[in-house]
Amino acid sequence: MEPPKIPDKLFFSIGEVSKIAEIEPHILRYWEKEFRQARPKRNKRGERNYTKKDIEAVLKLRNLLYKDLYTIKGAKQKLRERATKEEVKKEDLIRFLKQIRKELVSLRRTLKR
C-alpha cells in the first residue's frame, strides 16, 4: 500500500486527516486517548491542529493496527521498542561526535606547535 500524499500545509483539521489517512474521525479521537503519538495540539478554540508530523504518526499507527494487525497493546509495545532503538542510535551518534571533537581538538593543538 502506497503512503498517501500529505498536502503542503502547516495545520490540518481532523476531517482533513481523516480523509488523508482513510480513517473515521471517531477512530482518530480514540487513538488520541490510547497513543501519545496521536495527540495533536489544540488551538485557542479547542480545535485539533494536526501537523505533518502528527499525520505521519497516524499513518504509522494505521499500518501497525490495520496492515500489520497489531492489537492496541501490541502497537504500544512496538512504538516503545522503536523509541528505545532511536534513543540508542542518538546516544551512539552523540558519543561518536564527542570522540571526533576530541580528536579534532587534539589535532588542532598538534598543528599549533
Instruction: Report how far residue 17's alpha carbon sits from residue 100's, in angstroms, rounded to the nearest whole number.
Output: 43
Q: Please tell me whether residues 40 and 5 are part of one structural domain.
A: yes
Q: Please tell me whether residues 102 and 85 are part of one structural domain.
A: yes
Claim: this prediction has a pTM higher than 0.85: no
Q: Please tell me whether residues 9 and 61 are part of one structural domain.
A: yes
Give the model's confidence band at 87: pLDDT under 50 very low, under 70 low, under 90 confident, else very high.
confident
**Number of domains, the chain:** 2
Which residue range(s) make up the domain with 96?
73-113
Give the model's confidence band at 1: pLDDT under 50 very low, under 70 low, under 90 confident, else very high.
low
Q: Please tell me whether residues 10 and 52 are part of one structural domain.
A: yes
Instruction: Report how far residue 92's alpha carbon sits from residue 106's, in angstroms, rounded to the nearest whole number.
Output: 21
Q: Please tell me whether residues 65 and 79 are part of one structural domain.
A: no
Instruction: Report how far residue 110's alpha carbon sits from residue 105's, in angstroms, rounded to the nearest whole number.
Output: 9
pLDDT digits (tens, 9 = 90+) for 90-105: 889 999 999 999 999 9
DSSP-based three-state secondary structure for 5: coil
